[in-house]
Amino acid sequence: MQRRIADWQGLAIGLGCMNLSHAYGTPPDPADAGELLLRAHELGVRHFDTAALYGFGRNEELVGKVLKPLRGEIFLASKCGMTGVDGKRVIDGRPETLTATLEEALRRLQTDHIDLYYLHRWDKSVPIEDSVGTMARMVEQGKIGAIGLSEVSADTLRKAHSVHPVAAVQTEYSLWTRNPEIALLDTCRELGTALVAFSPLARGFLAGSVTDPEALEPRDIRRNMPRFQSPHFAVNCRLRDGFRELAAEAGCTMSQLALRWLLERDPCVIPIPGTRSLAHLEENLATASVGVSEDILMTASRLIGPNTVSGPRYGAATQAEIDTEDYV
């Protein structure tokens, strides 16, 4: 099963590299992280997704070092517009900042071009047309191949697309985060824009890997997400129990059922699950060979969705930073 972004076509499932350096507590040893990146390539992954924010540059350095010998074989994606400054996360979409971030990314990734470059967050103090106009000049200079946006609404996508074609929108999309179905998915389909789905396994929840949020490391970002907090977590666990039974009926793992459901939503959808486990990597990539009936997929949709999942995906402060449509 293959999917397309702009002129590139490859395996329908990519690899999100964030958690090899960022967000979920103590990162793995760089040697282990490098082994996972190489194993992903061996298994057919060509789409690798990183960002300036991840590890405040360390993830780009990791990906650049490990995959440099394979650079001609991979589709490399990174992001600007949200970086680490003096140890803090900063959203900055000013043209001069985006330009500087690109130069830093090229150096860290050890390449002269990035195949897909996203605006990681829309800086609402800067017109989207200005940020995308700067990125269009990056395309003209040959430093990036295509433009992407992350966590934006259908309306913002249209505004950006009027300045320069937007090859991909990256947003959270899974059984338990269905916001793209409000308007963004239809707009991506209309414009020929790929929808790259991050956290397709609900930040590990649908893989069954989070059973006690209190056991997560202090710096794990899930600790601050309402769905992993009381009283929401207990409600969501009851949904997961039913999902586990459904996966058993389908003859696959929960992760595979969640990914298969996503792949069947639309040909423009490309999941990029992240993992630190070689076993989980192999499990995820085996999804393409898993057959799941339409009845089971429909049952999964009814079981886990906007009408059943408890809690918003972000707290109020983070939600205010993003531009995605939300269920009322």
Known catalytic membership, residue 54: yes
Neighbours of 100 (CB within 10 A): 14
Q: Which of 24, 54, 117, 314 is catalytic?
A: 54
144-150, strands of its sheet edge to edge = 15-16, 47-49, 75-80, 114-119, 144-150, 166-172, 194-198, 269-271
The strand pair at 82-85 and 75-80 is best described as unpaired
Concatenated DSSP letters of 123-168: -TTS-HHHHHHHHHHHHHTTSEEEEEEES--HHHHHHHHHHS-EEE
The strand pair at 144-150 and 166-172 is best described as parallel
Q: Say if residues 19 and 272 touch (Cβ distance below 8 Å).
A: no
Q: Say if residues 40 and 13 touch (Cβ distance below 8 Å).
A: no
Please list the active-site residues. Answer: 54
